[in-house]
Structure formats: structure tokens, C-alpha cells
Amino acid sequence: MNARIARTLAIAALLLIVGWEFIEWTVNRVYVPEGQSLVLTYKGPILFGSSQAAAAGQFAKVDEYGHPLEIGMLEQMRGPGRHFYCPIWWKHELVDDYVVDKHQVAVVTRRRGPATADVKTSDFYLVEHTLEDEGEIKQQGVLRKVYGPGRYRINKYAYDFKIVGTVATQDTSQVKVSGWVDVPTGYVGVVTNQTEIPRIKAPKGIQDTVLQPGLYPLNPQEQRVDIVEIGYRERTIAAIRVTNNAGELVLDASGEPQIGENAGGIGFPSKDGFKILMDFTSVWGIMPDQAPDAIRKFGNVEMVEQKIVIPQIESICRNKGSELGAVELLVGQSRQKFQEETSHAFHDALEKNNVTLLYGLVRDIHIPLEVRLPIQRANLADELKLTRDQEQLTARTEGDLREAERKVELEAERVRVGTEKKVANVRADGAKKAAETRAETLKLMAAIDKQTAEIDAQATIVRGQAEAGASKLLQEAKADKFGLAVKAFGSGHSYNQWVFASRLPEDLKLQLLYAGPGTFWTDLKGLSETLLGKQAAQGKPIAP
């Protein structure tokens, strides 16, 4: 009975497990594909227990394991994959991820949580926390941090995710940009803070530090940027010249370009009451450290030119020019002095306004024809006189030059002759010394030859005496040798026989023949064989 009950319970348990797994994989299973996330809302217990609903506008609290402690939506979402949530207790929703493309940024606004004003640690309408912060009080408001290109899993019920590119706003006469900011080469970015930034201790307003060329993701609610071109600019204020139909300049009676009725340029009266026109060119610029001050004072670089550069050019030229007469502006050192003083004054005026000046040049000063023509004629006469004087001076100088050339030629010839004389003397002295050296050498050679001949004669005498003595001694030794030999043999005859016997050949054979009375001819046969050998007896030729 107990076994049957146990088996029944086991089967029931198995069926319960199989049934639950079937429900899990058919009813409770939720699949989240790539690029999406799952938003969960806890409905609370149905039959047993009770839970408190989350506060209005807040997410449900969870424990350290992620289990809900309150009824409501969970802030944490589930990523791609397979999840199991029973629809009796859970409500779920698939939401798409946010994708930020290149050249874009995302401005994120927190929609749930305590209001910014309720957070005592912050006095600013921008909130400091980020999407990555966990376990902190997250108040409502715009996040200071912006998010660049990428894919983000964001709970759309918690955050407003706004994707923007380059945001341009018109502020007075200058366009300010934010969002995705591209500062090109040759430019800098002047930053204007919409509010104080406590993390870097940056105050509100235009900042002194500029952005160098590059890419910057900026929060439009926090910072805006003026793109300012850096470098020098040229500004010329010039009178208008009259031209003909061919575009060529029309000249007046003095050969100068004729100025039109609507002359333009910088006009002012001279000290003696004549109307003067002037052309002026300035090369000025804004450097990186000057850009913030230019934006702060004038709004943009163009206004720097309109409010500072052009007014200063006209003011300085008019004030300085009105202190001089027309003649002083036309000729002499006074005109050069006027140009230098004008350039220096213009440089000082721009420097006071934190603008860099490279060049400030007075190009042309247009004097009225009735003043200029007599002065030019007088100057022309003076120049002609100076030309004639210079021609005479040139002629005299040329004569002096020719005389100097002749002196140089004469001196050169004198030097040449003297040089040749010195060379001849040196050569003669050298030849004399060479001859004396040669004679002395020959004399020494003769003395040496004489000594050599005497030594050779003496050597010949000594050698002859030595040879004669040696021959004498040799002959005496030989005589003594023969004497001793004769003495040893007892007589000269015995010695001669010994010498004869010692010189006989070793292979000599002696045969004795007996010849008695009447037998000499009969023994000739044996004699011939004996003397000539068997070959001769047999008639064979005898080898030499």
C-alpha cells in the first residue's frame, strides 16, 4: 500500500514537473532578440501575501538579487536572450535599443526620480549622475554627460533619449554650435558655459580656454561653441581710381591716377586747408588666446573689424594727417615720419583691444592737383639739377678712376720688372752655387780616386809579394817532400821506381815468356795472343 502511494506520488510529481516545464517553455518563455530589451512590470502576489505599490513616478524597489519588493515597473531591463516570466505576476514589453550614428550625440533626460530642486546637494538644473551609476539617488533632469556614437539599452520610461547632430543657435550676430562639434584646422572653439560646471570648477559664461581643432561631443544644455578662424586678415581702405572702357587707369596732368567723384578712401583736410585722400592697408588677426576676448567684447571676428580696425584706421589717419600741411604730406622726411607715427599709433590702438597687428601701412596719399603740380615741377627742376650735378660728379669720378687705373697698371709693370730682376738674380746665384758645388765635388772625387789608386797599388804589391812567398814556400815544400821521399827510399832510383809502380793500372796483367836459342819465332803466336788478346787472334776488330 505504501509502495503504491509512493509510486502514485512520484508519478504525480513527475507530471507536475512536466506540466510546469511545458508551461514555462510555452506560456512563460519570452525571447528577446538582438537590438531589443525587455521592460518588466511586477503585478504583485495573486493568492498569497501582499506588496506595497511603488510611489508615484518611481520605479519599484528590488532586493540585492533583483527580486521586486514593490508593485510597479522595474528600472533594470533584461537584454537579448531567453527569459521566463509568468504573465500572472509579470507584464513585459519589448523595446528597441537606441543607436547613435557617427556625427551624432544623445542628450539624455531623466524622467523619473526626485526633482532637481529637491536634491540639496545640487544648485544646478543639470544633474551630475550618468546612465552607468548604480545604487544612487537619481533625480529628474538633463544629464550633463552626452553619449556619442554607439548602441544603448535605455529604459524609455526612465529616460528621454534625444539624438541630435550639430545644433546651431543664433546668438546676436554669431552662430553658436553644440552637440556634435567639429572644430576644423585653422580654427578654435570659444566655449560658452550655460551654467557652472562644478566637476571642473568652470564658471558660467565665456571661457578663456579654447577648443583646439578636433571633434567634441557637447551637451547643448550645458555648453555652446563659437567657431573662430585664427590667423591674419587684410583690410584695405583705398580711394577709387578712374578707369576707361578698357579698364586702364586714367592719369591726370601730373601723371598720377585720377580719383573719381565718389572717391572713397580716407578723406581729411590738411593743416593748410586742402582736401587729402589716403589709402591704408592693415594686416591684422586674432590669435587663439585672443579669441575668447574678441567673442566676449564684440560677438564675432567680423565685428572686431567693423568696430575696432576700420574706425581706428580712419581716426588715426585723419588725426595725424590734419596736423601736417599738404606739402609735408607729399615730400620730404615729414611724409616718412607721418607714415611711421601712423603705423605705431594703429599698432598701439589694436594692442589695447587685444588684437594682433602684423602690418599697418600708409600706401598712397592723394594731394590735390593744384598743390601737387607746382611742387612736382619744382621737385623736377631740383631733381634735374641734382642729376646734372651727379653727372658732373660721375664724370670726375670716372676720370679719377681712369687715372687710378693707369697708376695701377704702372705699379703693376714696376712690380713685374722688379720681380723678373729678382728672379734673374736668384737664378744666377743658384747657377753659381751649383757650379761651385759641382767643382768642389769633382775635386773631392779626384782626391778620392787618388787615394783609391794608391790603395789599389799597395794592395797589388802586397798581393804579389804574398803570391811569390806562397809559391816559394810551395816549391820549397815540394822539394822538401821529394827530398824526404828520396831519403825514405834510400836513393833517387828507388823512389822513381816506386812512382812508376804506383801509377800502373790496377788491372794490369804480366805474362813471362821464355825464349831460348832458336825459339823466338815459334813463340810469336803465343806472343800475339798474349799482347792482343783472343779477339785479335780470331780476326775480330778491337774496340778502341
Q: Is residue 32 classed as helix, strand or coil in its secondary structure? A: strand
Backbone φ and ψ of 416, nearest 5°? -65, -45
Question: Does residue 540 carry a pLDDT above 70?
Answer: no
Identify which of 199-208, 321-330, 338-347, 363-372 has the greatest average pLDDT: 338-347
Q: Report the alpha-carbon distance of residue 266 to residue 282 in Å, rounded.
A: 13
**Mean pLDDT, residues 192-200 taken together:** 84
Contacts of 23 (CB under 8 A, 6+ apart): 86
211-241 confidence digits (pLDDT tens): 999 999 999 988 999 999 999 999 998 888 8
Q: Report the alpha-carbon distance of residue 8 to residue 247 in Å, rounded.
A: 116
Q: What percent of the chain has pLDDT over 90?
A: 23
Residue 306 neighbours by CB distance under 10 Å = 13
Whether 159 contacts 145, CB under 8 Å: no
CA 367 remoteness from chain centre: 54
pLDDT at 118: 46
pLDDT at 187: 95
Q: What is the 3-state secondary structure (H, E, C) of 299-347?
A: CCHHHHHHHHHHHHHHHHHHHHHCCCCHHHHHCHHHHHHHHHHHHHHHH
pLDDT at 537: 47
234-367 fold: Tetrahydropterin Synthase; Chain A (3.30.479)
Contacts of 51 (CB under 8 A, 6+ apart): 42, 44, 45, 68, 69, 70, 71
Residue at 392: amino acid letter: Q
pLDDT at 209: 92
Whether 192 contacts 206, CB under 8 Å: yes
Residue 144's closest CA among 163, 160, 164, 124?
Answer: 124
Q: Which of 28-32, 68-72, 522-526 has the lowest mean pLDDT?
A: 522-526
pLDDT at 48: 67
Q: Is residue 124 classed as helix, strand or coil in its secondary structure? A: coil
Q: Annotate 102-116 with DSSP letters as a single string.
A: TT-EEEEEE-SSS-G
33-88 confidence digits (pLDDT tens): 998 999 998 888 776 666 788 877 778 888 887 788 888 888 888 889 998 888 88
Q: Is residue 495 classed as helix, strand or coil in its secondary structure? A: helix
Cell of 122: 545640487
398-448 confidence digits (pLDDT tens): 888 888 888 888 888 888 888 888 888 888 888 888 888 888 888 888 888
Residue 256 neighbours by CB distance under 10 Å = 17
93-128 confidence digits (pLDDT tens): 899 999 999 999 999 998 877 765 544 444 456 888
Could you tell me the residue ranges of all domains in the chain? 2-93, 99-229, 234-367, 509-544
- The pTM of the full predicted model, rounded to 2 decimals, is 0.58
Q: Which band of pLDDT confidence, cut at 50, 70 and 90, is reported for residue 147?
A: very high
Exposure string (b/e) for 406-440, b if CB count within 10 Å is 16 or more? eeeeeeeeeeeeeeeeeeeeeeeeeeeeeeeeeee
Q: Which band of pLDDT confidence, cut at 50, 70 and 90, is reported for residue 352?
A: very high
pLDDT at 431: 87
Q: Looking at the chain, how many residues does it have? A: 544
**Mean pLDDT, residues 172-182 taken together:** 85
Cell 583736410 maps to which residue?
269
**Mean pLDDT, residues 284-294 taken together:** 94
Backbone φ and ψ of 306, nearest 5°? -70, -35
